[in-house]
Amino acid sequence: MKKVVKFGGSSLANAEQVRKVTDIIRSDESRRFVVPSAPGKRFDKDTKVTDLLYRCYDQAGKKEEQTEFLNTLAEIRSRYADIIEGMGAELSLEDDFETIRINFEAQIGRDYAASRGEYLNGKVVAACLGFPFVDAAEVIRFAEDGTFLPEETQALMEQKLSGMDSAVVPGFYGADAGGKVHTFSRGGSDVTGSLVAKGIRADLYENWTDVPGFLVADPRIVDDPEVIETITYRELRELSYMGATVLHEDAIFPIRKDGIPINIRDTNDPSAPGTVIVESTCRKPRYTITGIAGKRGFCSINIEKSMMNAEIGFGRKVLQVFEDNGVSFEHIPSGIDTMTVYVHQSEFEDKEQQILAGIHRAVQPDFVEMESSLALIAVVGRGMKSTRGTAGRIFSALAHAKVNVKMIDQGSSELNIIIGVSDNDFETAVRAIYDIFVMTEA
């Protein structure tokens, strides 16, 4: 059995955490391919190494801040020295830091600067484990414009790792054919982990972080929410899109077609099973719903016109107005003579008058009404399809909590129900839905 294990920044913030990580890896001989992030915060007001690197790079480009540049570089060097000393590893990063100093002064790129956190930590973790170090720039390929190239990456990954029994591949970055470093978006080490898992045809991809798994609801809203035991890729996609963040959204795509499961685990509680993410499962979910997630900051544009349902092309013409103004829509609930478009308020506000005028020109509506400061909540679960009365229970819970429902939209797959409420009712609504499906079913 082969496992890829990825560890987040909080799991590698200091020597104590790195020791936990090495113990976890050594406790299971199948954990042979490791993807580390850069060291994260050691305490609440600490600074992540990646942020220090950005600051250091910006200082290096300003003649009047050369002293600050060298001081910040020394601070970064100290972070790694503390880990190396605390772990008793035989490793010197002096040559690497000299190269970084030269390249920062030459201003070769902010992506290069950001990537050095993972690069250096990869060397540290490899030295602590006695594993070979593989620079991600050798196996993850980007185009010159920064576009990720999956097929070339797959070929490079297989070629490099196929004959290796173990390796440490730093997360977050790769390079183009000319050697210039490019990065994924923040949290991109999750993506690197899935690419390594696909490249070695792993049996399991373990993603270790500082939470017990994927939670049914946001712990900032619901006190001590339950951990989701098993979730499908489709459910995860729905929840991630609506704001639930444990795993980088793009991390599932490289391995989904290969059927490689992902296990979210807690570095600080390695005995806990965490959450398993799978393509499909016959396991009955613990609750009717799998999870609840939501976003604030929406507005709705309600368009009314008699007999609009008989007017061919009505919906297309309305959406064309939004497209022409560069505004994407989230949901479009409709009735016989009404059509409502939900959009991000921040995208819409500056263009609202142009869009309203465009709607009037395109479809000559009888009436257009707007409402702002709305939130959308997704209730997601494969168990809803086989359970009667799910929507009724949601309405009942929200009515009991005195939450007015602005919109409800259920997908044809019966996998999710989207509810629109006022921003002010957002947290109350999430707690009410959690209570009716989790607390009463526990």
114 pLDDT more than 70? yes
Question: CATH for 291-439, among 3.40.50.2020, 1.10.760.10, 3.40.440.10, 3.30.2130.10?
Answer: 3.30.2130.10
Tokens 């939501």 correspond to 294
Q: What is the mean pLDDT of residues 1-17?
A: 96
125 vs 138: CA distance, rounded Å: 18
Query: What pLDDT score was predicted for residue 412?
Result: 65
Q: What's the full length of the chain, in residues?
A: 442
Q: Tell me which of 283 and 96 has the higher pLDDT.
A: 96
Q: Classify strands 31-36 and 291-304 as parallel, antiparallel or unpaired.
A: unpaired
- Give residue 414's region: left, alpha or beta (phi > 0; psi -120 to 50): left
426's tokens: 């957002």
338 pLDDT more than 70? yes
pLDDT band at 127 (very low <50, low <70, confident <90, very high): very high
Distance of CA 121 to the CA centre of its chain: 21
- Give residue 297's region: left, alpha or beta (phi > 0; psi -120 to 50): left
331 pLDDT more than 80? yes
438's tokens: 């989790």
- Domain spans in the chain, listed from the N-terminal domain onward: 3-210, 291-439
410's tokens: 């259920």
Q: Answer whether 437's CB lies under 8 Å from 289's CB.
A: yes
Query: What pLDDT score was predicted for residue 19?
Result: 97
| DSSP tag of 132 | P
135's tokens: 């620079």
441 pLDDT more than 80? no
Q: Answer whether 315's CB lies under 8 Å from 332's CB.
A: yes
DSSP string, 363-377: H--SEEEEEEEEEEE
* pLDDT digit string, tens, across residues 65-86: 999 999 999 999 999 999 999 9
Query: What pLDDT score was predicted for residue 242?
Result: 81
* pLDDT digit string, tens, across residues 411-431: 666 788 999 999 999 999 999
Q: Same topology for domains 3-210 and 291-439, yes or no?
A: no
Query: What pLDDT score was predicted for residue 442?
Result: 60
* pLDDT digit string, tens, across residues 374-403: 999 999 999 888 788 888 999 999 999 999
* pLDDT digit string, tens, across residues 160-212: 999 899 999 999 999 999 999 999 987 789 999 999 999 999 999 999 998 89
Top CATH class of 3-210 equals alpha beta
The angle subtended at Cα 286 by Cα 282 and Cα 290, nearest 5°, is 85
* pLDDT digit string, tens, across residues 234-267: 898 888 878 777 787 778 888 888 899 999 999 9
Closest CA to 206 of 254, 166, 164, 260: 260
* pLDDT digit string, tens, across residues 205-237: 999 998 899 999 999 999 999 999 999 988 988
Tokens 């030459």 correspond to 106
346 pLDDT more than 80? yes
